[in-house]
């Protein structure tokens, strides 16, 4: 196992995450910022964020392995690896978020097939299985099996994303989430996060001097700009429809984002970081280098985290108004994020980083090289 | 098999919160947990204003969103109409809390989203639930919706009633008498 300053930093992140998890397990919901009025907080956003990156990365990789996009193939293996790492981070966060994970056996004993949450486990399970299998084939170079498995994995990723869309879209109690576009929203935003992460990966690959591929950077630049355009349409659509129709519940949530308690998050941390600044960075660069693309990707990834967080909170920040009281003004529900919850998000980043740092070792395990041979070559420390 | 329902007379409610206290006492609830609440409505414009008090709790919906979304059937609908929770099956995903349009769910110390159960242990003894039994003005009339001779059905026939958030399609089992 290689140990350097990045490994130590990643380990520190994971330890911080474990401390947060321990605090939540010991003190329960009191250690979290969630309330009866806002039952889903930053951990649900974090789960969505990491699984969104995973499925997004896979869909970007599919452009290479399914549609023969030559610019993606050089970074394809890294995309798949990071897709697995990101999924593991997402699952780790979700495990802590669940109040009673030990009762999980009832998932199988008394399943409820009308629940989107029930479908999440088998769908993401299948996705993970296919993703790992595809990665093994790519690492081992089984060319004949790569494309069929890439197709199956991409389909499973899309189906899993549609399920997350249903999870929110089915909730009639929360007008901001409720609606038929929810699955499409999750697919598009996940692809956006996948492209952003792929931009960071393209930079990392160049930094490690594994032969930078100018074509990859050029292709990702085109993808990033296209996706930012799509995101712009989504934002304009959501904003105008929300303001024009003034649908009760949806309208107030939109105001919370535009001018209310979530406005800093929305304008600065979401819109600016995820779209505006990366867009300017990419467009203004006379010659787009991997480092500039990577920086744009990193900013987008940060902004997309707040995109997830804002979506989760905006759906719950508006009081449900069970009883229509004409005299009552809208007083938004309070929300907070505790150190334990932040620790888990940072821990999730730590897991991704640590697994990436040990990637070489993982690849050699996949390739099934005996330890003696590895030691003889001296290219990996066990 | 009976199918339980509740008729609420809001104009009789004085806001004494005895129902809330009786419920907390019977169910041994913590200080920050409450299965029923009173919503205060101001109506009219000054100086012609009046206040209406509306008791709100789990509506034991026939098309309950919490039942549909629960991944392990920890929340389920009994034959008698009560929406019940089996805490041993709850994984703590809180989907029911997000899905309930009535904000009826309250997370307890064991991270289980609990709510009004209509006290089935009291119904089995032929008694009213704690909230109904304690109310000095008989704001809550509990009864069998299936029995045409029940007091509940007689009162339902006599009054113009409405349900909360009918447009959501949840088909609640609680009816409110219109003023």
In 3-state terms, chain B is what percent helix, strand and coil (to 5)?
Answer: 25, 25, 50
Return per-residue pLDDT of chain B as tens, 179 residues: 789 999 999 999 999 999 999 999 999 998 888 999 999 988 888 888 888 899 999 999 999 999 999 999 999 999 999 999 999 999 999 999 999 999 999 999 889 999 999 999 998 898 999 999 999 999 999 999 999 999 999 999 999 999 999 999 999 999 999 97
Q: What pLDDT does residue B84 have?
A: 96
Distance to chain A for B9, nearest Cα, Å:
15
The string of pLDDT tens digits covering residues A178-194 is 999 999 999 999 999 99
Out of B70, B89, B113, whose CB is closest to A115?
Answer: B70
Distance to chain B for A22, nearest Cα, Å:
15
Q: Which of A26, A36, A37 to mutate to test the interface with B (most CBs of B within 10 A)?
A: A36
**CB < 8 Å to B113, chain A:** 39
Q: What pLDDT does residue A330 have?
A: 86
B174-177 vs B161-162, strand pairing mode: antiparallel
Beta strands in B17-82 (DSSP E): 36-45, 48-57, 75-77
- Taking residue A138's Cβ as centre, other Cβ atoms within 10 Å add up to 24
Q: A98 in helix, strand or coil?
A: coil
Q: Which residues contact A335 (CB under 8 A, 6 or more apart)?
A: A33, A35, A38, A41, A313, A316, A317
A325 pLDDT higher than 80: no
Q: Token digits for B19?
A: 């129902």
A380 pLDDT higher than 50: no
Q: How confident is the model at residue A169 (pLDDT cuts 50, 70, 90)?
A: very high
Out of B41, B56, B101, whose CB is closest to A173?
Answer: B101
ipTM: 0.92
The residues with which B84 forms a beta bridge, in sequence order, are B76
Identify the closest residue of chain A to B49 by CA–CA distance: A327
Q: How far is CA A122 from its chain centroid?
A: 19
Nearest to A188, CA basis, from A226, A150, A147, A149: A226
Q: How confident is the model at residue A381 (pLDDT cuts 50, 70, 90)?
A: very low
| Cα B30 to Cα B107: distance, rounded to the nearest angstrom | 10
Q: What pLDDT does residue A2 have?
A: 66
Question: What are the backbone angles phi and psi of residue A15, rounded to the nearest 5°?
Answer: -65, -40
Distance to chain B for A248, nearest Cα, Å:
12
| Cα B71 to Cα B45: distance, rounded to the nearest angstrom | 47
Distance to chain B for A294, nearest Cα, Å:
35
Q: Contact B111/A36, CB-based, under 8 Å?
A: no
Q: B44 in helix, strand or coil?
A: strand
Q: Contact A37/B100, CB-based, under 8 Å?
A: no
**CB < 8 Å to A329, chain B:** none
Region of A305 (left: φ > 0; alpha: ψ -120 to 50; beta: rest) is alpha
Q: How confident is the model at residue A367 (pLDDT cuts 50, 70, 90)?
A: confident
Q: What pLDDT does residue B44 have?
A: 82
Nearest to A99, CA basis, from B162, B153, B74: B74
- Taking residue A354's Cβ as centre, other Cβ atoms within 10 Å add up to 19
Q: How far is CA A301 from its chain centroid?
A: 9
Q: Contact A106/B91, CB-based, under 8 Å?
A: yes
Q: How confident is the model at residue A205 (pLDDT cuts 50, 70, 90)?
A: confident
**CB < 8 Å to A103, chain B:** 72, 74, 88-92
Q: Contact A36/B97, CB-based, under 8 Å?
A: yes
B174-177 vs B4-8, strand pairing mode: parallel
Nearest to A243, CA basis, from A231, A256, A232: A256
| Cα A232 to Cα A275: distance, rounded to the nearest angstrom | 8
Q: How confident is the model at residue A372 (pLDDT cuts 50, 70, 90)?
A: low
**CB < 8 Å to A36, chain B:** 97, 103, 105-107
Q: How confident is the model at residue A215 (pLDDT cuts 50, 70, 90)?
A: confident
Q: Which of A110, A168, A182 to mutate to test the interface with B (most CBs of B within 10 A)?
A: A110
Q: Contact B101/A101, CB-based, under 8 Å?
A: no
Tell me the angle at which helices A73-97 and A214-245 cross, rounded to the nearest 10 degrees: 40
Q: Which of A209-223, A296-310, B153-167 has the lowest mean pLDDT?
A: A209-223
Q: Which of A323, A324, A328 to mutate to test the interface with B (most CBs of B within 10 A)?
A: A323
Q: Contact A28/B56, CB-based, under 8 Å?
A: no
Q: What pLDDT does residue A245 have?
A: 84
Identify the closest residue of chain A to B114 by CA–CA distance: A36
Q: Which residues contact A141 (CB under 8 A, 6 or more apart)?
A: none
Q: Token digits for A289?
A: 């280098």
Give the mean pLDDT of chain A: 91
8 A C-beta contact, residue B60 and residue B83 = yes
Q: Token digits for A352?
A: 């991704």
| Segment holding B141, helix H or strand E | strand B140-144
CA angle A46, A51, A57 (to 5 degrees): 130
A379 pLDDT higher than 70: no
A81 pLDDT higher than 50: yes
Torsion sign, CA atoms B114, A164, A87, A188: negative
Q: Contact A173/B42, CB-based, under 8 Å?
A: no
| Cα B162 to Cα B7: distance, rounded to the nearest angstrom | 10
A365 pLDDT higher than 80: yes
Q: Mean of the pLDDT values across residues A151-168?
A: 97
Residue tagged 């089915």 (tokens): A170
Q: What pLDDT does residue A207 have?
A: 59
The three state secondary structure string of B81-105 is CCEEECHHHCCCCCHHHHHCCCCCC
Q: What pLDDT does residue A272 have?
A: 97
Q: Report how many Cβ contacts below 8 Å link chain A to chain B.
A: 130
Nearest to B103, CA basis, from A173, A363, A22, A112: A173
Q: Mean of the pLDDT values across residues A58-69?
A: 94
8 A C-beta contact, residue A99 and residue B112 = yes
Q: What pLDDT does residue A12 have?
A: 97
| Cα A142 to Cα A340: distance, rounded to the nearest angstrom | 43
| Cα A5 to Cα A23: distance, rounded to the nearest angstrom | 27
The residues with which B114 forms a beta bridge, in sequence order, are B106
Chain B interface, Cβ < 8 Å to A: 39, 41-43, 54, 56, 65, 68-74, 88-95, 97-103, 105-107, 109-113, 164-165, 168-170
**CB < 8 Å to A253, chain B:** none
A171 pLDDT higher than 60: yes
| Cα A363 to Cα B94: distance, rounded to the nearest angstrom | 38
**CB < 8 Å to B69, chain A:** 114-117, 170-171
Q: Contact A101/B113, CB-based, under 8 Å?
A: no
Q: B6 in helix, strand or coil?
A: strand
Q: How far is CA A280 from its chain centroid?
A: 23
The string of pLDDT tens digits covering residues A5-38 is 999 999 999 999 999 999 999 998 899 999 999 9
Q: Token digits for A305?
A: 């985290």
Nearest to A70, CA basis, from A181, A219, A185: A219
């Amino acid at each position: 196992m290689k140990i350097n300053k990045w490994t130590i930093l990643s380990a520190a992140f994971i330890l911080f995450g474990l401390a947060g998890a321990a605090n939540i397990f010991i003190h329960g919901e009191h250690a979290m910022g969630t309330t009866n009025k806002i039952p889903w907080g930053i951990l649900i956003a974090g789960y969505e964020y990491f699984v969104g990156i995973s499925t997004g990365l896979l869909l970007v990789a599919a452009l290479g392995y399914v549609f023969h996009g030559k610019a993606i193939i050089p970074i394809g293996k890294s995309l798949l690896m990071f897709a697995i790492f990101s999924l593991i981070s997402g699952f780790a966060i979700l495990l802590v978020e669940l109040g009673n994970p030990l009762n999980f056996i009832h998932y199988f004993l008394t399943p409820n097939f009308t629940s989107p949450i029930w479908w999440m486990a088998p769908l993401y399970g299948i996705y993970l299985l296919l993703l790992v299998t595809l990665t093994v084939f790519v690492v081992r170079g089984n060319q004949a099996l790569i494309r069929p498995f890439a197709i199956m994995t991409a389909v499973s990723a899309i189906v899993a994303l549609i399920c997350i869309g249903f999870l929110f879209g089915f909730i009639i109690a929360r007008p901001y989430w409720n609606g038929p576009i929810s699955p499409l929203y999750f697919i598009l935003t996940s692809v956006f996060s996948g492209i952003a992460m792929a931009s960071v990966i393209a930079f990392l690959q160049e930094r490690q001097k594994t032969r930078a591929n100018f074509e990859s950077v050029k292709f990702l630049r085109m993808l990033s700009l296209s996706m930012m355009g799509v995101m712009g349409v989504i934002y304009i659509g959501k904003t105008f429809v929300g303001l024009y129709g003034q649908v009760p519940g949806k309208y107030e949530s939109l105001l919370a984002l535009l001018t209310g308690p979530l406005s800093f998050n929305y304008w600065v941390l979401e819109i600016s970081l995820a779209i505006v600044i990366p867009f300017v960075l990419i467009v203004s660069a006379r010659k787009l280098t991997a480092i500039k693309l990577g920086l744009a990707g990193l900013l987008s990834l940060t902004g997309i985290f707040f995109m997830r967080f804002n979506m989760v909170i905006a759906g719950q920040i508006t009081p449900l108004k069970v009883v229509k009281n004409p005299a009552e003004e809208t007083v938004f529900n309070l929300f907070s994020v505790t150190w334990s919850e932040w620790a888990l998000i940072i821990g999730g980043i730590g897991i991704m980083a640590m697994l990436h740092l040990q990637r070489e070792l993982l690849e050699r395990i996949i390739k099934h090289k005996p330890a003696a041979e590895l030691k003889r070559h001296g290219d990996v420390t066990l | 098999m009976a199918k339980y329902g509740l008729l609420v007379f809001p104009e009789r409610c004085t806001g004494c919160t005895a129902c809330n206290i009786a419920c907390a006492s019977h169910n041994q609830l913590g200080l920050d947990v409450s299965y029923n609440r009173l919503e205060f409505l101001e109506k009219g414009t000054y100086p012609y204003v009046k206040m209406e008090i509306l008791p709100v709790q789990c509506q034991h919906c026939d098309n309950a969103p919490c039942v549909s979304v629960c991944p392990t059937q920890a929340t389920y609908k009994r034959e008698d109409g009560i929406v019940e929770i089996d805490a041993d099956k709850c994984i703590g995903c809180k989907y029911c809390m997000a899905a309930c349009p009535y904000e009826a769910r309250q997370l307890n110390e064991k991270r289980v989203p609990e709510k009004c159960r209509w006290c089935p242990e009291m119904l089995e003894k032929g008694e009213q639930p704690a909230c109904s039994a304690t109310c000095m003005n008989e704001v809550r009339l509990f009864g069998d919706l299936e029995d045409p001779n029940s007091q509940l059905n007689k009162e339902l026939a006599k009054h113009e009633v409405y349900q909360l958030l009918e447009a959501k399609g949840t088909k609640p089992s609680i009816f409110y008498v219109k003023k």
